[in-house]
Structures are given as structure tokens and as C-alpha cells.
Chains A and B, each alone.
Chain A
Amino acid sequence: GAVVSQHPSRVICKSGTSVKIECRSLDFQATTMFWYRQFPKQSLMLMATSNEGSKATYEQGVEKDKFLINHASLTLSTLTVTSAHPEDSSFYICSARDRNNEKLFFGSGTQLSVL
């Protein structure tokens, strides 16, 4: 079945540093990818929609300068958390939509801990 690889699975960083999370569709092309954020025992909240070759669309309340999204190819989208702070600590999950069959697949998530 289709696989979405998310890397790293876990990252710990110091406050003020930037962290990049990669989301790759391994066996299909994804014109659209989505980034979610999940706090412990909470729901997934959509942060932004990433379209290949164009600017990401951010949900209301999500700082675009804080969470930089790049979707430079049909198989890769990256989320960069800039100048991370402890309140940015969360589980970040990407999903990718197969351009051929419109099916949606989720990555396994990245646990970010900012000290």
C-alpha cells in the first residue's frame, strides 16, 4: 500500500533554534500535502495545506512566518518550525493525497520537544 514517510520521528531542540520536518510520499505523487498538529490526548488540528509549486495555505490562527512550508516536488513537503519555543512542543503529522486516485495517506508523525 501507499506509504508516507515522515522524518525525523522524534526531535529535541533548544529554544530559539529551527527544526525541519520532512514528509515524503514513497510510491505515489502528491500534488497536495497537509500538515496537522496534535497535543497530547487532543485532536488533530489542520495547520496548512501545501500545494506543489505554490505557496501553502494556512488555517486561521497559524503563523505562516513561524511554520514555514515548502513543497518543492511531487513527493516532498517540509515544515520548518522557526525559532522554536517550548509551546511549540507537539506531535506534527503530515498527510499526502495521491494525485491519481485522490486517496489520502498519513505519515507516522514527528514528536517535537523544545527545551
Chain B
Amino acid sequence: GQSLEQPSEVTAVEGAIVQINCTYQTSGFYGLSWYQQHDGGAPTFLSYNALDGLEETGRFSSFLSRSDSYGYLLLQELQMKDSASYFCAVGRDSSYKLIFGSGTRLLVRP
């Protein structure tokens, strides 16, 4: 079958670093993406990994290990505005047939 697993909730303190893990099981793997969604808002794209390794975009980094079917999103210097849900998604057979995880709700405390 096809599935993605990520923690349902994570709590962290402002200024800290948090890592959100995502493990996946799918045929025809075609990249791992991360999206942020604030309550009542639309998902917004954060990052994409097609190959193993770390991709860095400002305070956010994303990592992929295809051999372990595993990736993570790393958020540094957490800010209150980072409180949101974060979804990992994998492309199945193409980067356009996407399967999303059920999301991780991040709460950043002062």
C-alpha cells in the first residue's frame, strides 16, 4: 500500500529548533515535498527533495534518505508565526500524483 506517517503534534519554544519527521511507503517514489498550512488558510509550498541530502531555504531545511524512505523538515529560530500544520507529500510515479501525510500541528510557545 501507500502511506505516509508523521507525528500529529509537536510543541516547541520560540527561538528553538524543531524537526518534523516523515516516513513513507509508496511505489514509484518521485520526490518529497513539504507544505505549511495556517488555520483557515491554503497550503503553501516550503521545499522539495528529489535526491538524498539536505536542502536549505532560509530558516527551513528539508532532508531526504530514499534508502530509508524517510525525510524531515527542520525549522530553526522558531517564531510564533511558525505555529501551523506541516504536511509532507510524496510524488507517486510522477511529481504530480501526490500523496499527503495527515499533517503535524506545530505549536510554538513563548
Are A and B co-members of a single complex? no
